[in-house]
Structure 1
Amino acid sequence: MFQVGIPALLDWSRHFLMLGYYTFLATFADPIVRPFLNTLPSKTSFQWKRHLEAWKYGDGLDYKL
């Protein structure tokens, strides 16, 4: 794979946009979704908790200095 040029820049841009998307979901959607998890059936609640974790760990918000 090339490390410079338009294809590399487009590939990097895709990853950067997804990082921003996960940051948005973890920051704004997580607080809205989390209170409703206890009202869902256990299987659905489990699946949503895994989504919330993916958003948090996918954007690096799990790291604290």
Structure 2
Amino acid sequence: MSLADASDLNTSSHTADHGTEITGAGWIYAGIALVAALWATSVVMFGIPGLYIPAVAAVPVIFLTLVLISRG
């Protein structure tokens, strides 16, 4: 076989399954990475306000989550 042989281009016989299935924890880590990337983008675009405004906006969400957890 040479580099110009067209028979190597047939990928239908190859399998792409390598046992890499995304688990529940993988989705959580991907979500955390996405939030961190968006927050970093906010800091790059808007400077210091981009750092603290998303944190201030998250306070009611965190507070409500803590209240719901404490109520059982």
Return the TM-score normalized by structure 1: 0.39
User: 1 or 2, which has the higher helix percentage?
Assistant: 1
> Which has the larger Rg?
2
